[in-house]
Amino acid sequence: MRHTIAVLVENRFGVLARVAGLFSGRGYNIESLNVAETLEPGVSHMTIVTSGEDHIIEQITKQLNKQIDVIKVVDLNDKDFVDREMALIKIHAPADLRAEALRIVDIFRAKVIDSSPKHYSIEVTGSRDKVEAIINLLRPIGIKEIVRTGSVALQRN
């Protein structure tokens, strides 16, 4: 089962390597990992999406907590949360498919951020499901390249 885990860490040299190493060393999988600074100086926030049985997830959160530079670990699956991710998608857009492509972009309230005679680059933000959906719709048109940020998540209050 997929779990989204929010981790607050000290923004110190090697912290990201430790967390990544923890996952790889114990054979846990990382679907996505996103990290950036928070408002608090020296503190960064990581959103990790992983999957596994409950017993494994329990070990993962405990092992994360054990790291000296980890301040707090929250398994968001236990709470209500919102998550978003962003994708930049470069699609083939020859003359006969351009209109269809633009229709899809419009439906998903995405944006065309770059355009050339044969390609569009599209920016889309939304929940994981939304991003998956637009990718599936664009696939028949022809996707040249995708980069995704992975999820970031916030607890609901």
Partner 1 sequence: MSQSKEKISGAQIFLECLKAEGVDTIFGYPGGVVLKLYDELYFERNIRHVLVKHEQGGVHAADGYARTTGKVGVALVTSGPGATNAVTGIANAYMDSIPILVFTGQVPTALIGNDAFQEADIIGITRPCTKHSYLVKDVRDLARIIKEAFFIAATGRPGPVVVDLPKDVLMGEIPRAAFHYPEEVNIRSYKPTVKGAVTQIRKAITAIKRAHRPVMYIGGGVVLSNAHEQVRELAEVTNAPVTPTLMGIGGFPGSHPLSLGMLGMHGTWYANMAVHHCDLLIAIGARFDDRVTGKIEQFAPHCKIIHIDIDPTSIRKNVRVDIPIVGDVREVLVELNERLQVEAIEIDWLEKHREWNEQIAAWKREQPLRYAEDGKLKPQYVIQQIYEVTGGDAIITTEVGQHQMWAAQYYLFDQPRRWVTSGGLGTMGFGFPAAMGAQIAHPDKVVIDIAGDGSIQMTIQEMATMVEYGLPVITCIINNQYLGMVRQWQTMFYENHLSAVDLMGGTPDFVKLAEAYGGIGMRVTKKEEVRPALEEAIARRRPCLIDFRVDRDEDVYPMVPAGAANVDVIPQPDPVVHR
Footprint on this chain of partner 1 (rule: CB under 8 A): 9-10, 13-14, 17-18, 21-22, 25, 55, 58-59, 62-63, 65-66, 68-71
Q: Give min distance, CB of 48 to partner 1, in A.
A: 17
Q: How distant, in Å, are the alpha carbons of 58, 115, 129 from that of 148?
A: 27, 19, 13
Give the nearer residue to partner 1 in terms of CB position, either 8 or 146: 8
Is the Cβ of residue 18 or residue 84 nearer to partner 1 in the bound state? Answer: 18
Length of the chain: 157
Number of neighbouring beta carbons within 10 Å of residue 29: 12
Q: In angstroms, what is the minimal distance from the CB of 51 to partner 1?
A: 19
Which tokens in the block code for residue 53? 């049985």
Rank residues 14 and 117 by Cβ distance to partner 1 and give the closer one. Answer: 14
**DSSP SS3 for 92:** strand
Helix (H) or strand (E) holding 50: strand 43-51
Instruction: Please state the closest distance from residue 25 (CB atom) to partner 1, in A.
Output: 5
